[in-house]
Amino acid sequence: MRFFDAHCHVMNLSHPNLSAILNRILDKVGFWKKASISALALFLWLPWGKKALTSVIESDDRIMNLLAIMESDLGDFILQMEEDLKERLWKAQPVVIGNNGDAVRYDKIVLTPLMMDFGLKNYGKYKTVYKVRRKTIEEQMRDLLIGIRRYRAESKHRLFEVYPFMGLNTKNYGINSYGKTVELQVLLDKYFKNFDQDPTPKKRLERLNSFAWDEYQCDIDAVDSSPFLGIKLYPPLGFDPWPEDSAEELGKVKFLYDYCVKKNIPVTSHCSDGGFLVDDSYLEFSSPAKWRKALSWKDPNTNTEPFRNLRLNLAHFGNQEKSSWWRKKEWRDQVTELVCNYDNVYTDISYRGGERIFYDELKGYIKSHPPEKQDKLMQKIIFGSDFMINLMSVDSYSTYLKHFATTSIFSADEKDLFCRQNPERFLFI
């Protein structure tokens, strides 16, 4: 049986833009560390000032831990995830989820690394001689695919099966003046064209596994199938799920959703108020209210709701860590409403399980609903880690998985819903 971590990232330092990653890191630095960094920054002109500042930053294990994994090539990145699990959690196979007699065993872990389309948000902003001129998703793809190939070649255990999600921001692609999406279609056709020919998850899996990893020499055009399983959308980078104020942008997202519905492509969208906050409208874009509009949109020509069957995962269960206390639960409740009303809408708990107490809160929240809704929620929650981003709250991948594996608040069978049955259904593999 396969255990699923349906939300993780495999990225190096060249993939996000620098200001986004610095922002993300400083966001999570504690008050006193922030205070000492600011205080020491005043003394940067003194020789000891620089040294002291560097050592304060280096003393933060979480920052150094995150930077170390992001400095690694992506093959070694995945290998280190595996080594950590084998050395610190499951020394002998298989993966064990549950306590004592009440346990379910898995022999493989499915990872779906979610790429992010960082685009060139700040291009031209700086007056420097050299600029970041290209940050196409293709470059990131190439690095990730080489990394997976290397993992497959060098891993002793082959514990992971890796099926990446392609990052996409429709704003970074064109549409021609006749209202027909051109570049977007070219991109989607390249990786997902034949997905509508997979009547069953088994067929979909066969398609993905037919990707010739050994033949892949950094040129995806030379390989005639694609290893991508789904699409990742990231509103804080400027993706607007329902851009009502622009006919052109709205046309693009409609094209995308229509494509994903017809081809049965799973889509994961970031849905919390944190993350790589690059676009000023990140709060508005990340809100589940945007998705309610998209899912319930009625096509006036056909009088149908064409996107209501979109296979969608709203990530992080709508977490609102940064919002004021009286608003903290709004998105979570909206996500619950969508999950209960739309058959193909799911939510994942990635990043949230960095603290064990989260699982107790989740259980309490589920139990606060009438029985019918409880059942629905149990069928729609997906386990995810948000590795490597989660290194801002845990020290390792194994610690995060251990919290889930050993919490006794959910039975092993209930956990099996989150880490196998639900993601299997959502991912269609």
Residues 230 to 269 in contact with Zn ion, rule: CB under 5 A? none
Residues 376 to 415 in contact with Zn ion, rule: CB under 5 A? 386
Which C-beta is closer to Zn ion: that of 271 or that of 412? Answer: 271
Q: How far is the CB of 9 from Zn ion (least distance, A)?
A: 6
Which C-beta is closer to Zn ion: that of 20 or that of 184? Answer: 20
Contact between 315 and 348 (Cβ < 8 Å) = yes
Q: How far is the CB of 118 from Zn ion (least distance, A)?
A: 13
Which C-beta is closer to Zn ion: that of 98 or that of 354? Answer: 354
Query: How many angstroms separate the Cα of 62 from the Cα of each of 26, 73, 130, 357, 393?
Result: 11, 19, 31, 20, 8
Which C-beta is closer to Zn ion: that of 114 or that of 187? Answer: 114
DSSP classification of residue 418: I
C-alpha 183, offset from chain centre: 24
Q: How far is the CB of 386 from Zn ion (least distance, A)?
A: 4
The partner residues of 108 in beta bridges, in order of sequence, read 2
Q: How far is the CB of 237 from Zn ion (least distance, A)?
A: 12
Q: How far is the CB of 42 from Zn ion (least distance, A)?
A: 35
What are the two backbone dihedrals, phi and then psi, of residue 131, each rounded to the nearest 5 degrees?
-130, 160
Contact between 115 and 140 (Cβ < 8 Å) = yes
Site size with Zn ion, rule: CB under 5 A? 1
Which C-beta is closer to Zn ion: that of 10 or that of 345? Answer: 10
Which C-beta is closer to Zn ion: that of 279 or that of 386? Answer: 386
The CA distance from 114 to 166, in Å, is 7
Neighbours of 371 (CB within 10 A): 8
Residues 84 to 113 in contact with Zn ion, rule: CB under 5 A? none
Site track 305-324 with Zn ion (rule: CB under 5 A), x = hit: --------------------
DSSP classification of residue 332: H
Q: How far is the CB of 189 from Zn ion (least distance, A)?
A: 27
Residue nearest to Zn ion (CB): 386
Contact between 345 and 312 (Cβ < 8 Å) = yes
Could you tell me the two tokens for 85? 């699990």
- Smallest CA-to-CA distance from 320 within 306, 331, 334 is with 331
> Which residues of this protein are in contact with Zn ion, per CB under 5 A?
386
